[in-house]
Structures are given as C-alpha cells and as structure tokens.
Amino acid sequence: MRRRLLGRLATAAACATSLIATLAPTASAGPSSHGSGGSGQQAESSYKRVGYFTQWGVYGRDFQVKDLDTSGTAARLTHINYAFGNISTDGKCFTGNVAGQADAWADYARPIDAADNIDGVADTAEQKLAGNFNQLRELKAKYPGLKVMISLGGWSWSKNFSDSVRTPEARRALVASCVDLHLKGNLPVDGARGGDGAAAGLFDGIDVDWEWPGSAGDAGTVFRPEDKANFTALIAEFRKQIDAYGREQKKKYELTAYVPAAPAKIDAGFDVKKIIKDFDFVNLQGYDFHVSGEKTTAQQSALFARNDYSVNQVVFDWIKRGAPARKLVVGVPFYGQGWTGVSGGGDGLGQPATGPAPARYAAGYEDYEELKKLADSGTYKVHRDLLGGHAWLFDGNTLWTYDDPIVLRTKAAYIKGLKLGGAMIWSLDADTPDGELVKSLHKGLS
C-alpha cells in the first residue's frame, strides 16, 4: 500500500511539474472560461469545489451573494461554506446582533435591493428571511446542484469549543442547538425577520472549523489535552444527530471540517482514523505555511518544498494517519502574504524584511484581485519555482507570495493525479469580478 501511494505521489509531482513548464510561458494570459457562467447550469465534475463566502465581505469589499452568480462562480462550485457561525459561552450555536460575536443583520435581517438580488426583485419589509441567507436560498434555486454549508468557528470564533464539549450532555446540547438553528432554520426574531423555520432548507450540512482542538489558536481560545478525545466524540454526535434529522427530512446532510497542516496540531487534536469515518470530507489547510508576521520572506502555499511545509506534505501526513485520499480536499488561497523592506537582493525569497507589506484591507494580507493589478502593472516581476509549484511578486522592496491561475492549474493536476477529493477556496470575495481564479481551478479539475 505504501509503495503504491509513493508511486502515485511521484506521478502527481511529475504531472504538476510538467504542467507548470507548459503553462509558464503564457503566464500573462488570462484563463479561459469553462462551463456555464450564470446560466443556472452547473458543469459536471467528480471533484469538489468548495468556496468560503464570508459574512463580513458584504461590507468593506461589497461582495454580495449575487456576485457569485454574475461572475459565473456559482456555476463552477459544488459547495459554499458560509463563514461563520459562532458558539456561545453557554455552549450553544447562536446568532444575534452582537459586535464581534454575531451579525444577524448581515445573515438574515438586511434588506437587499433589486440590483443586488438574485431574482432581481427587492426584499420586502414583511418577508421573514432577507440578507445573505435569503440570497443563498435564491442562489440554490437557480443552481439546484449547489450545496450550502454553515461553517462553525473559524480563527476568531473557536474560543468556546473546548469548554462546550467536555461531557456527553454538553456535546448533545451543543449539536442539538446547531441543528435547530442552522438545519431546522429556527432563527431568533429580529423585527419582521426570523422565527421558526425561517431558514429551513437553506443549509445542506455543517462544516466544523474548530481552530484548534488540543493546541493554541487565536488569543483567548481555550485548549486542553482532552480536546482530542472530546473532538472525536463531538464529531460522532454531529454525525448521529444530523443523520437522524436527515432521516426525518428524507435528505442527506453532510458533515465536513477544516483541518490543520502542522503535524503537531494534527496529532494533538485529531484521531484521524476515528473521525474520518464520520466526515464526508475534510478541507486541508493548504496555505499560511509562512505569514507576513515572520521576519523572513517565504512561500505560503507551495505544492512541494524541501524541509518546509507544503501541500504535498499536508496531504501525505493525513493519508499516512489513516485518511483516504478521496476525502481530502486541498485548500488554496485567493490572497497573498506580503513583506516590505526586503533586503538581500535576488528574487526576494528567503530574505529579511522589516514588516508586513501595506495592503488595502490588512497589512501583509492582500486579495488576488489587487495582486493581479500589481502583476499587470509592470512594477513587479512574477517569479515561479517550477519544481515547488508556487509563485511570488517582487519589486525589489516588497514581496507577495500567492496563487495565480497557473499555480491553481498545477494544483488541480496534482489533485487529479492523487485522486483527492477536490479543492477548497479561502475566500471567494478575493477573486476578480469575473471569477478568474475559480475559472482556472474549475477548468483544471474538469
């Protein structure tokens, strides 16, 4: 078994490297369109294409659910993960209008005008469901094969997981509250919005994004050694309850998770052989291998790397711990990590830097839409590691490591070569208005 796996890894590496060499001379050319674009029809593919839609993207980025339709992105996805749902201090899934904790206004209370409405008709004051939730429901009606998942936690909202799953009773209560709120759609009343069943049928499953059981996450996030066993029990409880509800509804609800790249974090919190049986698939962290807070520039999402994190390393670490390849969905970034004050010359990679690079929304973190403008400006040079399968921009002072259409086509070849589950995107609001990266990834997986 191990020999066959290594052979498949070698084949995937050869295919990916060959594809980079083929595509590299045409780096400046935009990707070709593939499949339908906004017609309501979805192209067939056996590979999952999962995209995270951020709740807060409707504000600063003005990225609306309708943009998934007009860009053609919705036609090229199999799943949308809605980021994020939160867990309260008393161990329940909840929503409301609490700064930094929940945003029911964005979720289901905000009225959408005709211009931003999937069906072209403005929301009324009387309807029970508005906001992102109603738009996602309308998107599903237009693209019947599209699944929408509620993603629980994330980097900032994983703080209460550990405290909420310490006993069987607590786990049952937590899961029951998530099923009630998100799958049954029983939303808190917010003016005319919400109420029992207001969002029923919207979500097709639950994505557990606890960062991270058994090891440190965001500041203030509780973790403890027993998280590993409690996470295993929590996932079993989710599987039990969503399957039971699914039998009532004559529907299959899916259960997925976002899982880490670092071997130490995998071993601290994930009993892979046990949990993988309960998941339909897991989304692997395929980025942030290095971040702009570090003192030296480095790749953040290389396909292959010697003595460093890489997509290949993450995939192999999960497979050798017992995860079947078909349940592994590779995460890809639609953003870059950047440094400024880079010294040492050369192509800028592996050199000291003075700090995170200036950016539109957050220092050191830039959307692909903005990085494409830099690449097209002529000020920055695009560099590629043909063997490593990654790219970066450098102007002699500032460096951005990112995935462009060529890198994504290479990763798609790798996914197909290993017969993995597909690709996951963080996050959809960072793509170009015409969905350039989604088009390239979808074409590569078709």
* Residues designated as active site: 211
Half-sphere exposure at residue 239, Cβ-oriented, CA atoms within 13 angstroms: 16
Where are any strands of DSSP class E within 88-179? 93-94, 97-98, 102-103, 147-153
Q: Name the amino acid, one letter, at 413.
A: A
Place of tokens 């005709």: 114
Give the whole-angstrom CA distance, residue 77 versus residue 49.
Answer: 5
| Helical residues (DSSP H) of 254-358, grouped into ranges | 263-269, 272-275, 311-320
> Do 134 and 116 form a contact (C-beta atoms < 8 A)?
no
Bridge partner residues of 209 (DSSP): 153
Alpha-carbon distances, residue 38 vs 34, 35, 42, 66, 423 (angstroms): 12, 10, 9, 10, 21
Give the whole-angstrom CA distance, residue 319 versus residue 76.
Answer: 27
Give the whole-angstrom CA distance, residue 66 versus residue 61.
Answer: 13
> Do 30 and 402 form a contact (C-beta atoms < 8 A)?
no
Verify cis geometry, omega within 30 degrees of 0, for the bond prior to 33: no
Give the whole-angstrom CA distance, residue 135 versus residue 121.
Answer: 11
Structure tokens at 434: 């015409």
Handedness of CA 256, 261, 265, 267 (dihedral sign): positive
Residue 165: its H or E element: none
Bridge partner residues of 205 (DSSP): 149, 254
